[in-house]
Chain A
Amino acid sequence: MREPPLLELRGISKTFPGVKALDDVSFSVYPGEVHMLLGENGAGKSTLMKVLCGAYKADLGQFFHHGKQVQIDSTAAARELGIAVIFQEFSLVPYLNVAQNIFLGREPSGYLPGTIDLKRMHVQARRILDQLGLSLDTHTLVHSLGVAQQQMVEIAKALSQKARILVMDEPTAALSDRECERLFSTIRQLQADGVAIIYISHRMAEVFSMGDRITVLRDGRRMASLMTGDATPDQLVQLMVGRSVDMSYARNFCAEPGELLLDVRNMSASNGVHGVSLKVRVGEIVGLAGLVGSGRTEVARAIFGADRVTAGEIWVCATRFAGGPEQAREAGMALIPEGRKTQGVALTRTVSENLGLASLPKTFPNHLFDPRKARQIAQALIQRLRIATPSPERNVQVLSGGNQQKVVIGKWLQAGSRLFIFDEPTRGVDVGAKAEIFALLDRLVAQGASVLMISSELSEIVHVCDRSYVMKDGTIVGHLQRAELTEERVMHLAVGQGSI
């Protein structure tokens, strides 16, 4: 490729309070190429996407369009440069038709001001859809379309904006094999027209079949950009995960696990997971690894009763479990959810109130609430967990992420749970609190509890868990014992290396 790149990023950095999401990222994109963007969760891919479409403004660095320096500081600016981003949650209006969605905000004007020239809009929409080889009726309402077709409408929308650079985020995540094929042929067509495509994906198969070049991000930094022909899957996995282990935490692994605490047999749930079987014994920290969207949170919610189980059985302490969160609590389960601020703590309630929320019937069996007793219990938990708060009567809102997490843990400790299901226990938690939380998990299982831990940080899975299951596409694809638990093996299973 001799012409200047269509778009070049030089030294792009973006910092959020406490974390450097993008650190000196540079790469370029040429017309007609499919440029694969790879990286773990948290590697910086979604931040990069938001920067590219103008939703975020880069703190440092420059953009070059056809060799000329440009600014991308608004969504309008990005649109003008011909950049269009297709996020995983589509920006479509359900009860408008295909043509209306394609031209939202840019409808062709009719005779009178404010009117739309419907005929022209549909003709133009038809033209774009024909270009994409779609026979979709432009009058169809978008809500009645399947995911694959909605995606096509998003692509049509981008094309109607004369996009020359299309950024697609995990486009095949929700598609069937046949729909994937359709998407790929569309992409090849766009390539032939000179459109550049930045394609974010984890699936090795499509990375190698569709990609021209590959850029790997890790911890916000660009690790390498390679031609697809020069790369091997192992190499890519190495680039994605290989990191110096700065885990100062050393765990006493469980030599002899105790009784069977959780036994999930071939479970399927309304949230999409299917055929899940796993076991957790007393004294173990069992990991549940996998990529975003692989179904880990769904498994946790289904076990806890937050989502409906449609098939299979869940056994807790040798008793068959069925029901919702209230019954789960009675059975000794605890769920520490991923969305701390939305599902873990009630932000505008006090630390003390949050700490007592899961144990009200247990602490006050006669239904009479004693604020003094509640305060004493809260104080004890605050000391035990070293929760940094000015007072138990302050709103949980003012606490740091790590301390909020401790409040959620404390809530379940007070409830006397035996099985703790953690969903991303250290997300948004600073290093010091991370170590504390791991030490806490260690103590918990040593004292007769079990932990099922979902984590997207492979180093956590490898260094904290006794063993780990790996999920992909809504079901469990692997189970690694202590001896074989390495980041590479986990990643291989998570991305489907085994299927190649």
Chain B
Amino acid sequence: MSYDANLMKARLGNLMGPAFYRVLAAAALCVALALVNDAFLSTNNLLNVLRQASLLFLLASGLTLVILTGGLDLSVGANVGLSACVAGTVMQSTGSIGLGIVSGLLCGTAVGLVNAALVTVLRLPPFIATYGMLWALHGVTYAYMAGATVHGFPPAFRTLGSGYLLGVPVPIYLMTILLGVGTFLAQRTTFGQEIYAIGTNPEVARLSGVPVRRRLFFAYAASGVMAGLASLVYLARLNSAEGDIGEGLTLPAIAAVLVGGASLFGGSGTLAGTLIGALILTLVLNGMNLLTIHANWQPLVTGVVLIAAVLIDNIASRRTESRA
């Protein structure tokens, strides 16, 4: 067989692989939900689902990068909370959207840099370091807000989260841009190649001359930046910010990445996968809403989905190992 035919075969093989089944699962969910409740197929609901999924995707995108390197950033949700509060309060006190946006992004970046330093410079194990940061950030957010709430932001800012552009919710544009840029980074830059190598086997990467610690530093910092960006969109969508805004965001973010097929051990996963994971999770939660299942069920379902995803991945990888 000619070289190109081989390549096509290999590509199609990947296509029929796990990603395919995930897309299938998402499609199946849509069909099921449509059958269960007519309201599902309404334009309003579908756009809403996409909007929610985009928000979750924004949050989970930086996390995907970190998980690709074989690490973890548990502080992502709290980062969003703090950054949203900072952005909100600055916007309110200065009246400037620009300053609000900048301060939110700066806050997210700062947290990311701290995480990066803890993991790469102080060499703390990523999960305990970011877990400590998670709680530290919650506390800082509470102290900063001191029980107050900020709300009522200028409409121009609100379009970021709740607005429409040409009939499509704005977050979806952001999601698309991020997906495009992120996938480009992953597939079409040397940085992406290095990240995947580091996740697969950091020692092989190091011995091949890849600057592992520099790349890891960047990954954690980037996760922080993305959290900052996500916080702006969340703030715009919720139109308010208070001390506990960040709670309960970390679990769905991790779930989205893992359901999307990324391996906890690093080296495999894509942003597109995370998007599908975010979509699946959002569909499940949307379905619960449509069935008027109480929001209290959400952490339960997210936890079950997370465990199921990890289990399925574990079983699947054992199967491929025995085949190889």
Contact = CB atoms under 8 A, between A and B. Distances in A.
A326 interface: yes
Contacts of A330: 209
Contact of B208 (A329, A370, A394, A398): A329
A176 to B, nearest CB: 32
B209 A345 contact: no
Contact of B6 (A347, A361, A393, A398): A393
B37 interface: no
B197 A371 contact: no
Nearest to B194: A360
Contact of A364 (B190, B201, B207, B209): B190
Contact of B268 (A329, A348, A367): A348
A102 interface: no
A347 B3 contact: no
B207 A353 contact: no
Interface stretch (A6-14, A205-213, A336-344): A336-344
B155 to A, nearest CB: 40
B123 interface: no
A71 interface: no
**Most interface-central of A325, A348, A358, A371 (chain B CB within 10 A):** A348
Given A328-B209, A379-B3, A346 B204 contact: yes
Q: How large is the interface on B (under 10, 10 to 19, 20 to 34, 35 or more residues)?
A: 20 to 34
A398 B196 contact: no
Interface in B172-205: 187-194, 196-197, 200-201, 203-205
A356 interface: yes
Interface string A407-449: 0000100010000000000000000000000000000000000
A343 B204 CA distance: 5
Interface in B188-241: 188-194, 196-197, 200-201, 203-211
B267 interface: yes
A214 to B, nearest CB: 40
Contacts of A149: none
A369 B201 contact: no
B324 interface: yes
**Most interface-central of B192, B197, B201, B207 (chain A CB within 10 A):** B207
A360 B205 CA distance: 11
Contacts of A225: none
Interface string A355-393: 011101100100111110001000100000000001101
Nearest to A345: B204
Contact of A325 (B10, B192, B207): B207
B7 interface: yes
Contacts of A326: 209-211
A379 B2 CA distance: 13
A20 interface: no
Given A361-B190, A368-B189, A393-B7, A343 B203 contact: yes
A497 interface: no
A223 interface: no
Contacts of A364: 190
Contact of A391 (B3, B209, B210): B3
A266 B319 CA distance: 51
Contacts of A361: 190
A356 B188 CA distance: 14
Given A342-B203, A346-B205, A348-B200, 19 more contacts: A325-B207, A325-B209, A329-B208, A335-B207, A344-B204, A348-B268, A349-B196, A353-B196, A353-B197, A358-B208, A360-B193, A367-B189, A367-B190, A368-B190, A369-B190, A369-B193, A379-B3, A391-B6, A391-B10
Interface of B: 3, 6-7, 10-11, 187-194, 196-197, 200-201, 203-211, 267-268, 324
